[in-house]
Amino acid sequence: MSETLRRDFFEDLYARTPDPFDFETSAYEAAKYQHTVAILPRDRYQQGIEVGCSIGVLTSRLAEKCDQLLGIDISERALERARARCAEFPGVNFARISVPDEFPDQDFDLMVASEVAYYWSIEDFTRAKDQIADHHMAGGHLLLVHWLPVVDYHVQTGDAVHETWLEDARWRLVHGDRCDRDNLCLRRGGGIKASTQACFENSQFDSRIAKSGQGYRSDMLEKSGQRRQPSLLHQFFSRGLDVSG
């Protein structure tokens, strides 16, 4: 798979089953959400956004931390359930937006991309990274959470998505974890205390992941103050097509 997954794919998915990823019922997802909220460095954010909010289960957890929170998703069917779930939170709003072709016209101090970036083609992923960087408030956080194993209909793995984001000079890592299917985590940096049950040394953790082949990764980023480095292609063309040697 190399093309971005389009709206029809997700509308069909939600038409077939209202909770296709078992967000409402899975103990694994519940533990992951608990971890996701626990590693947020601040108690409160003014304006949050969850890109690819689906039926709003993680959104309802993030709502505890945000004065205002916008959940965006490509699927109207998913958003109908998200709106119903989060009706009790006056600061939570939803919009049908297809990233990176569209993006809300405002800035955010908490930006969450959880289980979404591996659906984008390489080109759309690059554009989405730019949209997110351009709408990020100074002093805020960007949280990435993605499933690690290869999935046949994903364009990239979770690791590839996170590594590319970490190579982007506009961001620096505040905190990173790799967690296995039982939500046991390896902490990789930063001083944030996570509320997961246990943290493992590298070798122990790697053998757990190797055994199960399953797990996810969380990376908390903040703006570095540096600008985006132009791509190699851009550098090549901006220098001109001098091929004379």
| Separation between Cα atoms, residue 53 and residue 36, nearest integer Å | 14
Smallest distance from ligand SAM to CB 204, Å: 27
Contact with ligand SAM (CB under 6 A) among 54, 156, 183, 218: 54
- With vertex at residue 128, the alpha carbon angle to CA 151 and CA 188, rounded to the nearest 5 degrees, is 65
Q: Output the 3-class SS for 109-164.
A: EEEEEECCHHHCCHHHHHHHHHHHHHCEEEEEEEEEEEECCCCCCCCCCHHHHHHH
Name which of 102 and 206 has its Cβ closer to ligand SAM: 102
Name the one range near ligand SAM by CB under 6 A: 114-122, 187-195, 209-217, 223-231: 114-122
- Mask of contacts with ligand SAM, 146-185, x by CB under 6 A? ----------------------------------------
Name which of 72 and 200 has its Cβ closer to ligand SAM: 72
Name the one range near ligand SAM by CB under 6 A: 52-60, 136-144, 152-160, 180-188: 52-60
Contact with ligand SAM (CB under 6 A) among 40, 78, 133, 209: 78
Q: Is 222 in the site for ligand SAM (CB under 6 A)?
A: no
Q: Is 131 in the site for ligand SAM (CB under 6 A)?
A: no
Name which of 196 and 200 has its Cβ closer to ligand SAM: 196
Q: Is 116 in the site for ligand SAM (CB under 6 A)?
A: yes
- Interaction site with ligand SAM (CB under 6 A): 5, 10, 21, 23, 50, 52-54, 57-58, 72-75, 78, 98-99, 114-116, 119
